[in-house]
Amino acid sequence: MPARLIESLATTEPLAELFSDQSVLQAMLDFEVALARAEARVEVVPQTAAEHIAAVAMADNFDMASLAHAMLRAGTAAIPVVKALTEKVRARHPEAARYVHWGATSQDVADTALILLLKRARPLLYDDVARLETALAELSDQHKNTVMLGRTLMQAAPPVTFGLKAAGWFAAIRRSRARIDAAFAESLIVQLGGATGTLASLGEKGVGVTEELAKELGLACPPAPWHTHRDRLATLICSCGVLTGAMGKMARDVSLLMQNEVGEVAEPGGEGRGGSSTMPHKRNPIGSTLTLAAAQRVPELVATFLSAMVQEHERAAGGWQAEWPVVAGVIQSAGLAAASMAEVAEGLTVDAQRMRTNIDATKGVIFAERAMILLGAKLGRDVAHNVLEEATRKSAIQGQHLASVLEEMPEITAHIDRATLRQLEVPEQYLGSAEAFRQALLASSCGKKRNQEQ
């Protein structure tokens, strides 16, 4: 795995590879090659110069350790890379070396390289989010009639269905992906502004070079350079933060439902997954744990990016220099959460019988609201509430089901017949609009198509 040990719980293997030294350097070199080709097409530099630059601009040709040391001294990643690339080109063709990095500035290299990395990260992130959405939609359909306790403030409450819970996870993640779609579409743009964002060094050909550079890299062309305007990237980073939080909410629910005392779901196991170094009986919520860890990290990274938006004039001192590790951390955390929760959702075991048992263990007190509504129609809500509070206290003290206690209370039976009371604790009869809400949550464009095919 390309990730260092210290990062092994914070990324996936594909994303670790994407943000590896080799990949980051290649993205910068790809910018320089594309710039030379674009300038050759509009006759700013000779075509032969572009060919010689492309011939040596491969990451394997460079000493990574030396570059890293020089970057720290230079305060920017671009200066040492451009210098090293120029020397490589000079050794091959001295005349062509004159045209390396022609008209660009250091931030043009750094920003466009970052955008290229984001472009390559996009499908990696999307693939796992799509897997997660598909698995959750299927879980919701499979368990549309599986009743379980609702829980409010960590306490037992009237029943819901597991299908509704899964649909809620699905919808939040799908909304988050829609936001990221829009943010990626706006953010994947080239950066070329030269010294102060005017491209004065390219004269009247600046706009043409930018357009050709965008085509060469497969990026959009912005109306103007954006060196100190980081709003597009900020929107993407914030959207990734919301997505990670949405997956964290699912992870929190799953980990709580996996507690031994609850035992309603279980993550998939397997060799080396979910065990304990000291307790052989353990089956830990590993996917949820990794996702919760990501959801803990990302908010601070998002805050850092937002703080770094306040940049000075035409080139920032410290603002954009702070971004690379922040962006890499957010994307890798979101990607890890998506991959982890996709695996969880695809292999989640749902114990419908345990869910029913946990409902029964409440001895019907979770249906006190239902009884209160029935009684409130006769006595008024406040009086009914007081009567039901007393009834639930008796139920707890006597260890009896709520319905049995209510059958012994004349103030109840005077208004609610015993046949109704005997049906009071049937959870399927107190689900309200759960199924309508479940279907509405799944009714995205993808969901509608899926439902039509069933």
Cβ proximity of 340 and 244 under 8 Å? no
Cβ proximity of 12 and 332 under 8 Å? yes
- 140 catalytic? Reply is no
Environment class of residue 271 by beta-carbon count within 10 Å: exposed (0-12), middle (13-18) or buried (19+)? exposed
Q: Please give the structure tokens belonging to residue 30.
A: 């790809």
Burial annotation 158-181 (CB, 10 A radius, 16+ → b, else e): bbbbbbbbbbbbbbbbbebbebbe
Cβ proximity of 118 and 75 under 8 Å? no
Rounded alpha-carbon distances, angstroms, from residue 388 to 151, 172, 395, 412 = 19, 36, 10, 9
Q: Please give the structure tokens belonging to residue 418.
A: 């015993």
Task: Specify the pairing of strand 265-266 against strand 349-350.
Answer: antiparallel
Cβ proximity of 42 and 208 under 8 Å? yes
User: Residue 182's Cα: distance from chain center in Å?
Assistant: 14
User: Of 4, 66, 273, 276, which is the active-site residue?
Assistant: 276
Cβ proximity of 150 and 158 under 8 Å? yes
Helix, strand, or coil (residue 416): coil
Find tokens 């759960």 and name the residue.
Answer: 434
Rounded alpha-carbon distances, angstroms, from residue 307 to 39, 177, 323, 325 = 36, 24, 10, 14
**In degrees, to the nearest 5, what angle opens at C-alpha 412 toward C-alphas 429 and 384?**
80
Helix, strand, or coil (residue 188): coil
- 315 catalytic? Reply is yes
For the chain, what percentages of helix, strand and coil (3-state, to nearest 5) are there?
70, 5, 30
Rounded distance, CA 327 to CA 360, Å? 48
Task: Specify the pairing of strand 349-350 against strand 147-152.
Answer: unpaired
User: Of 90, 179, 315, 356, which is the active-site residue?
Assistant: 315
* Helix segments in 75-153, DSSP class H: 78-92, 94-97, 106-142
Q: Which residues are the active-site residues?
A: 276, 315
